[in-house]
Chains A and B, each alone.
Chain A
Amino acid sequence: MVAMEAKGWIGASVPRREDARHLLGQGVFAGDVTAPGMLELAFWRSPVAHGRIGAVTRPAGVFGAGEIGPVTLLPAGPDMPGFRQAPYPPLADGVVRFVGQPVLAALAATRGAAEDLCARCEVEIAPLPAFADVPAALAPGAAVLHPGWADNRYGSGHVKAGDVAGLDAPIRIRRKLGLGRQSAAPMEPRALIAVPDRRTGELVLHISSQGPHVLRHALAAMLGLPESRLRVVAPDVGGGFGAKNRLMPEEVVACALALKLDRPIRWVEDRREHLMAGAQAREHLYDLTLHATRDGIALGIEGELWVDAGAYALWPTGAFAEAGMAARNLGGPYGIAHLDVRHHTVATTKPPMGPYRGVGRTGACFAIERLMDALADEVGVSRYEIRRRNLIAKLPHVTAAGMTLDTGDYPAALEACVGMLDLPALEARRAAGERVGVGFAIYTEQSGHGTAEWAGRKARVVPGHETATLRMHPDGSLTLLTAIHNHGQGLETTLAQIVAEELGLHPEAIAVRHGDTGLSPFGFGTFASRSLVFAGGAAKAAAEMLGAKLRRIAAHFLQADLALVELRGGRAWAGAASLPLVDLAHAATMRQERLPPGEPPGLEATADYCPPEDAGVFSYGVHAAVVRVDAETGAVALEDYCVAEDCGTMINPMIVDGQVKGGVVQGIGTALTEELRFDAEAQPLSTTFADYRLPDAPSLPEIRVLHLVTPARCTVHGAKGVGEGGAIAPPAAIASAVEQALGLGMVVTATPVTPRRVLSVLP
């Protein structure tokens, strides 16, 4: 056992233990797993956006709907009566509703041979009307996509607070705004292998997933299996960002066929499939009016927003959180007391929408920040000044939508971000004719939210708790078992830091295992910036329980007062006397006759954790983008990008920086390059990385990050979530910077801000 510094692991930039295996190429991703007798799966996918399936001709080895064994479809979307159901069949049953929808499943010894089988399939499809966007889907007289629906809305909601209509505000600014459609595009596409285990009778599914326990629950229900007979293992996962946190048809088909044929079945998504049929994201439309005073004080927002949720609702919650969250977050970090916003989740003949880093808030931030820029222009103050006037000055603050912004200092973050820039130098360049500009955007990031928040959203799965088991083995080594998942967030390192801090050990002494329903207690997985708060809380609680027991045993061995015993450096101390923990572990497991009277054997603690602040804790930050625009070509070059953010106590600042920077660059993709485009017949136009362009190193400046630290009131060590925030603000900041560079008012209303869009707004 490694024993080093007893205290001080919280706030230390401990190098990540995850790195070594990846740097040697020894990580194991789901697509690396094989099994004897394995068959490879490929899908024949719909070539049209909407149509009725007729005659099907196919070779042996190809399965259609109804031929993969019994499957029960699950209701999906919020658990509320008004939300219309659109169950997503694993294989299309009669009707196809987007290009790329799985229709037939082909099995062969190799993926190439399975694709050959698909190439020999012939499927007659009688075309039905396609709706490629929200206006088309909601046009009067549009056909409905799902039987029994009155129109093409899954549902609508209304966020109302105060009295916008009664404000009689002197300034009203109405704008239509929109975000493009995106793919989360983790570098590892989805992958899975379903392996029947004849010894245990389990079906073992290795899958690239953010939440294996919840996935198991749904899959078992669909397949009619007891959960005890389905083990879901998420090994190394090559990025998720939300895209691997919904039940998808491919895993249902693979598992059903593995059960039916009693053979291992592997499916590895290719990039075209990911961009064509994976969960998609963003695509919001807004029609909003900001009400404000002549001093530029924003008072209220009214209007509507629409989310293009695609053809089906993905289990469990579909994309409904998207619209509701966008509406509730429209006030941003500003003290806007009046909200009257209707939101609509709309079905189109496009792939289903799932969550993506920043869910709802990237759109909401774009909308409110664009409106604030318009307000600044209207009242004739700078875009910095308009924010200074409107930021909530004192926390905690309950927003119009009822969210409690808990701790921090928003104006201080704005000043800190401004302080990172040399604004006079920028102004001098502008004066000299250079087309450079700076834009600001401010966000809040709800994180670590619990039961009341999720239940309030009518979620079908309420991730309000997380459980950890900490086990000390007879030799004194430790294993932490957790049900969150680590796919880049460094949680194997940070959770070990938290346990190490509690038990006076080096983090290396603690193995962290996750991602396997066969190993850990039930839990929800990693999403919604929740894992450090939830799993950290559970790990700390388990470590406290185990530590208490170790101290009791040590007090007995050392003949000392329990209150005097402390754990430090791998030993239990009472004054100058000490014992190695291994002696306590050995006694508790192998030699229980040595334990104090009444002390039960074993050294294992399982703790459940529910965060005390159900509504979550709010990280926040101010982003500043500096751009240079080529007015001839419309090209936008990012010169500088600054972030002043506060995510509470940082367990590992190096990892926090990585989360912030990675999020920012995804947001830069939203802002400038990434868009899943479709033609009028809803044919996808962005199905390779040549067409769907992720940011790469030459196009980016260094992302400069400054941390303000205001601990949360109740979370473990005062930490808040930090995964998503970086991805929220960049579109708003960059749009604003482009306008300043061109000397224009608020004219950029949609993302991505491509050269075409830039040139289209030039006078």
Chain B
Amino acid sequence: MTRLCVNGETHDLACEDRDSLAGVLRDRLGLTATRIGCQHGSCGACNLLLDGVPVRGCLVPVALAEGQAVTTLEGLRDDPVMIRLREAFTAHHALQCGYCTAGMLVAARDLILRGRATSAAEVRAGLAGQLCRCTGYDGIVAAVLQAAQ
């Protein structure tokens, strides 16, 4: 059995060792905000927090998340930074199809909390490897800057 603590709830699940954390969250716990876009760490759609730190959920064998706090976008509903980010994303049209959005928000929140969202250039650099195919990124950059203020 794998014991996972996800968004403050504990789950005991029979998993295969090869299962990824992102896959288990999606298929076993129905936490589908964590999206899978490449399964090789290049796109960032599966970003989630492990002990508060963003990681690629597709590259973490689920058993290695035991003993750590897993937080997905679903668990950040009332997070004050996330509330500001949601408002700013809507105001700046920072999403279109919505598929990259959860991973983008998790990455953006981390930039803000680390104080790395003080200029457009810094936000762009910090969003390296967060792929969005729809927006061209301008709205995202503007939204992160606004939410960081």
A: which residues have CB within 8 A of B? Answer: 15-16, 18-29, 31-32, 34, 110, 112, 185-189, 236-239, 241, 268, 270-271, 487-490, 654-655, 657-658, 661-666, 688-690, 694, 696-698, 700, 702-703
Q: How far is the CA of A664 from the CA of B125 in the complex (A)?
A: 20
B136 touches A665 (CB 8 A): yes
Most B C-beta atoms less than 10 A away, residue of A28, A31, A489, A698: A698
B123 touches A187 (CB 8 A): no
Q: Which residues of A contact B105 (CB under 8 A)?
A: 23
- The closest CB in chain B to the CB of A693 belongs to B42
A25 touches B90 (CB 8 A): no
Given contacts A112-B19, A697-B130, contact A689 B98 (CB under 8 A): no
B contacts with A, residue count (CB < 8 A): 56
B51 part of interface (Cβ distance < 8 Å): no
Q: Which residues of A contact B99 (CB under 8 A)?
A: 27, 29, 186-188, 238-239
Counting from the closest, the 10 A-B pairs by CB-CB distance are A25-B33, A22-B98, A238-B99, A488-B96, A689-B42, A661-B136, A488-B97, A665-B136, A25-B73, A32-B32
- The closest CB in chain B to the CB of A23 belongs to B86
Query: A186-B97, A186-B133, A689-B131 are known contacts; what are 20 more A-B pairs with Cβ within 8 Å?
Result: A23-B89, A25-B31, A25-B33, A25-B102, A34-B27, A110-B16, A185-B133, A188-B97, A236-B98, A270-B39, A271-B43, A658-B139, A661-B138, A665-B136, A666-B133, A688-B42, A689-B38, A694-B131, A696-B130, A698-B125
Consensus secondary structure, chain B interface: loop
Q: How far is the CA of A110 from the CA of B23 in the complex (A)?
A: 11
Q: Which residues of A contact B100 (CB under 8 A)?
A: 187, 238
Selected from A16, A241, A689, the residue in CB contact (under 8 A) with B43 is A689
- The closest CB in chain A to the CB of B89 belongs to A23
Q: How far is the CA of A173 from the CA of B95 in the complex (A)?
A: 44
Consensus secondary structure, chain A interface: loop
Most A C-beta atoms less than 10 A away, residue of B26, B27, B98, B137: B98
Q: How far is the CA of A702 from the CA of B31 in the complex (A)?
A: 34
A490 touches B90 (CB 8 A): no
- The closest CB in chain A to the CB of B42 belongs to A689
Selected from B26, B43, B127, B135, the residue in CB contact (under 8 A) with A662 is B135
Report A643 CB to chain B, min CB distance, Å: 11
Report B99-135 CB contacts with A as 1/0, cut-off 8 Å.
Answer: 1111001000000000000001001110111111111
- The closest CB in chain A to the CB of B102 belongs to A25
Q: How far is the CA of A716 from the CA of B95 in the complex (A)?
A: 26
A25 touches B37 (CB 8 A): no
B: which residues have CB within 8 A of A? Answer: 16, 18-19, 26-27, 31-40, 42-43, 45, 72-74, 77, 85-86, 89-91, 93, 95-102, 105, 120, 123-125, 127-141
Report A309 CB to chain B, min CB distance, Å: 23
B90 touches A19 (CB 8 A): yes
- Could you pull out 10 A-B pairs where Cβ atoms are within 8 angstroms? A22-B95, A24-B86, A25-B102, A32-B26, A188-B99, A662-B136, A689-B42, A689-B131, A696-B131, A700-B124
Given contacts A23-B86, A271-B40, contact A489 B96 (CB under 8 A): yes
Given contacts A23-B105, A238-B35, A238-B99, contact A696 B133 (CB under 8 A): no
B120 touches A188 (CB 8 A): no
B93 touches A16 (CB 8 A): yes
B136 touches A700 (CB 8 A): yes
- The closest CB in chain A to the CB of B139 belongs to A658
Selected from B37, B77, B89, B97, the residue in CB contact (under 8 A) with A271 is B37
B96 touches A698 (CB 8 A): no
A21 touches B98 (CB 8 A): yes
